[in-house]
Structure 1
Amino acid sequence: MTIGVAASGPQAGAAVRAAALAAESMGHGAIGGFAVFAVMDDAGRVRHRSCQRGGITALDLPPDWLQAPRAALIESGPDRPEPLVQFLPGADGVGMVTGHRLPNRPGADGIALNQAALGLMAAGAPPGDAVGQVLQAHPEIDAGLIALSAAGELAWGNTRRVDRRPDQGLAHRDNGLCRVAVLHNSIHPCPPLADAMADLAWYALTGESAPYRTLTLGTPVAITAAARDRVHVDAQGRILAIEQADPSLPQTPRRASAVYLGSEVWQDGRHIGHTVSELIADMADGRVYGVPDPARSLIIMKE
């Protein structure tokens, strides 16, 4: 499994979804396949949605799930063993455990590592103790865990085996009220991707801007030839206009790259950053009309 995310706080479900969208927009590797999304509602009930292909955008998430105070996700390539909930178990009133690599791998006692951590939490252990105890007991099992309690406590870690991997990413944010943690492997770029996922999740949780932000294409906008690739946005990150330096800018209707990787981002006459993902969209008559899936009509920028 390549991505594990968990968050607590208002809009935790939206935060986890934002992190997954960042990974699918920026990352390259085993993503956009199977996904398990879980939330814990205000009554402490754990609910799951899953799919074998299509990643986060293939999940039909109820609107109230995005507002859930506790949420978690695991995602990787397609077609994984059923039941998919084995990769992200949860218990009502206790919490949830996600992770990456093989968090469902059985330990010496035959119990899956994620289930073992969840069992310790059910017995009263805080997430940090549960994760630490399980990982310390199995240093050479290929697994990393993120544990989220019903109280919103969050803990994460890798076994020593996973810590030796050069392709892993880790990021977390915590202000005492809101928390998010990201683990991933085998997708690139490694450290920048983890930070982007955490930044976008953090914005969904707190409304606080961070170096990585999301730009959205909500309505058709003009695309014109120019000396430099530029995207013009408003204060909310909505795309207002696109300029492209490619002399072969299509004149006939087609789907193509509307916003090129590394394009300058401008707001109110100021250069505020550059894009770190691309937007492939439908274009016709000098306008960009977006894509069929609104979740794909976004771009990630960095200050």
Structure 2
Amino acid sequence: MTIGIAVQRAGTARAAIAGLGAVEAVGRGAIGGFVSLAALSPDGQLLKLDTQRGGAKAILASAGWGALETARHAVLMSSGPDRPEPLSQFTPADPAAGLMTGHRLPNMPRPDGLPPNMVALAAMAKGATPTRAIDAALSAYPDLDAGLIVMNLNGEIALSNSLSVDARDDIGSALVSDPSTGLAIGVLHNSIFPHSAMAQLAVSAIIDFASPGDASAQQCGIGGLAVREGDMLRALVIHPGTDRPVAFQSCDADWRRPEWEGCPVRRGDPVIADNRVVGRIVQEAYCILRDGTTIGTRGGDVVSWVERDQG
């Protein structure tokens, strides 16, 4: 019936939407309708945005989207269309405490009249950790139809379901934290299929948006490059002053046959300048070679690299 996503790091609102968009593109079920999004700007301002229909694409097209671009904390909840207003009830937040999301119905009151997401938010405002805030909201009421994702101002994320939601056979979850990059992600969902794959898909899309695996600072066309004989199995040789490509290098004589095809450098192969490894290939190209010289490609004719392993 719903998916909840929480992300911590610069640009997280857009990253969270990237995760939702991936789920919408692949999955089927309770998606593509409402989105309620809450975020905190770097100066602690609470930012809200929502839509009843259209999912990730609609929220990105909203007039207020630009204000969220620099947010470092973001949560969203999404499902089918036409949910009760205000949609902000699904993602309550306190600039002095943190942000809430989840799945199922965390906005519906417990037997004591208090919505679980508001109970968790109030607990954090009193100093509770995200984990303890969830316990305060869910532990006494195992039959609640709710799961919570809680994020504090330090970017710490916790998530959990009530016992009754945990018993469902269509749920998924993911919790990721990478201190080296500052990226933290939490995902809960149900009624979106194939349910066993959706949480990891959302996480993968978020990570790829935050740190694209094919991002590179340098690229070049490789038309006309020859494969020189050298000590390395495969390498790209560049000019040390201009970074322009000079040649490929390989100890494998196959590359200098009258006719040959393949990738003279593959992802991860070294980039060399003045006989030093100064980078690693990120994007490769499928080349057509004649007598060791590139005369064409099948697909793109560009290779790219990042600066690594200098020395």
TM-score class, shorter:
0.5 to 0.7
2:31/2:80 contact within 8 Å kept: yes
Q: Aligned equivalents of 1:120 and 1:79: distance in 2? A: 30
Note the C-alpha offset of 1:267: 6.3
Q: Quick one: structure 1 residues 267 and 78, their matched pair in 2 at CA, closer, same or farther if it must change by over 3 Å?
A: farther
What displacement does 1:269 show?
A: 3.7
Give 1:125 deviation, angstroms: 0.6
Of 164, 171, 174, the match for 2:174: 171
Distance in 2 between residues matched to 1:82 and 1:166, nearest whole Å: 29
Partner of 1:93: 96
- 1:202, distance to aligned residue in structure 2 (A): 1.7
CA RMSD of aligned residues (A): 2.1
1:108 CA drift (Å): 2.8
Alignment partner, residue 161 of structure 2: 158
CA distance in 1, matches of 2:158, 2:211: 19
Is 1:268 paired with 2:285?
yes
Q: Aligned-pair distance for 1:97? A: 0.5
Structure 1 residue 64: Cα displacement:
4.5
Q: Residue type matched to 2:87 in 1?
A: L
Q: CA deviation at 1:198?
A: 0.6
Q: Counterpart of 1:34?
A: 34
Of the three residues 136, 139, 144, the one matched with 1:141 is 144
In the alignment, structure 1 residue 204 sits paired with structure 2 residue 221: no
Find the counterpart in structure 2 of residue 257 from structure 1.
Answer: none
Unaligned runs of 5+ in 2: 215-266, 268-282, 288-311
User: CA separation in 2, counterparts of 1:200 and 1:186?
Assistant: 20
CA shift for structure 1 position 95: 1.0
1:101-140 paired onto structure 2 within 5 Å: 101-140=104-143
How far, CA to CA, are the matches of 2:286 and 2:145 in structure 1? 50
Change (3 A) 1:125 1:26: same
Q: The residue matched to 1:16 in structure 2 has which SS?
A: helix
Aligned residue for 2:85, secondary structure, equals coil
Please report how far the alpha carbon of residue 203 of structure 1 lies from its aligned counterpart in structure 2 after TM superposition. 2.2
Match of 1:300 in 2: none
Of stretches 138-147 and 38-47 in structure 1, the one that deviates more from structure 2 is 38-47
The answer to whether residue 193 in structure 2 is matched with residue 183 in structure 1 is no
CA contact (8 A) 1:103 1:144 kept: yes
Q: In structure 1, what residue type is equivalent to 2:68?
A: W
Higher Rg of the two aligned structures: 2
Q: Secondary structure at the match of 1:139?
A: coil
What's the offset of the Cα at 1:205?
A: 2.9
Moved over 6 A (4+): none
Amino acid at match of 2:200: D
Q: Say if 1:142 and 1:159, in contact at 8 Å, map to a contact too.
A: yes
Does residue 68 of the first structure (1) align with residue 71 of the second (2)? yes
Using the size of structure 1 for normalisation, the TM-score is 0.67
Q: What is the CA distance between 1:132 and its match in structure 2?
A: 2.2
**Relative CO higher for 1 or 2, CA cutoff 8 Å, sep ≥ 6?**
1
Structure 1: segments with no counterpart, 5+ residues: 210-234, 236-265, 271-303
Q: How many angstroms does 1:107 deviate by?
A: 1.4
- In the aligned structure 2, how far is the partner of 1:207 from the partner of 1:131? 32
What TM-score results when the alignment is normalised by the length of structure 2? 0.66
Query: Does the 8 Å CA contact 2:123/2:136 hold for their aligned counterparts?
Result: no
Deviation per residue, 1:183-233 (Å, 9 max, x gap): 110010112111110111122234457xxxxxxxxxxxxxxxxxxxxxxxx
Q: Following the alignment from structure 1 to structure 2, what is the Cα–Cα distance between the partners of residues 153 and 112?
A: 22
Corresponding residue of 2:24: 24
Give the letter for the 2:128 counterpart: A
Percentage identity across aligned positions? 39
Deviations 1:149-170 (A, max 9, x none): 1221111010110111110011
Distance (whole Å) between structure 1 residues aligned to residue 136 and residue 112 of structure 2: 14
Alignment coverage as a number of residue pairs: 216
Residue in structure 2 matched with residue 298 of structure 1 by the alignment: none
Is the Cα–Cα contact under 8 Å of residues 35 and 76 in structure 2 kept in the other structure?
Answer: yes
Amino acid at match of 1:91: D
Question: In 2, are the aligned partners of 1:97 and 1:148 still within 8 Å (CA)?
Answer: yes
Q: Using the alignment, how far apart are the partners of 1:135 and 1:269 within structure 2?
A: 55
Where do residues 278-289 of structure 1 align in structure 2 (5 Å cutoff)?
Answer: none
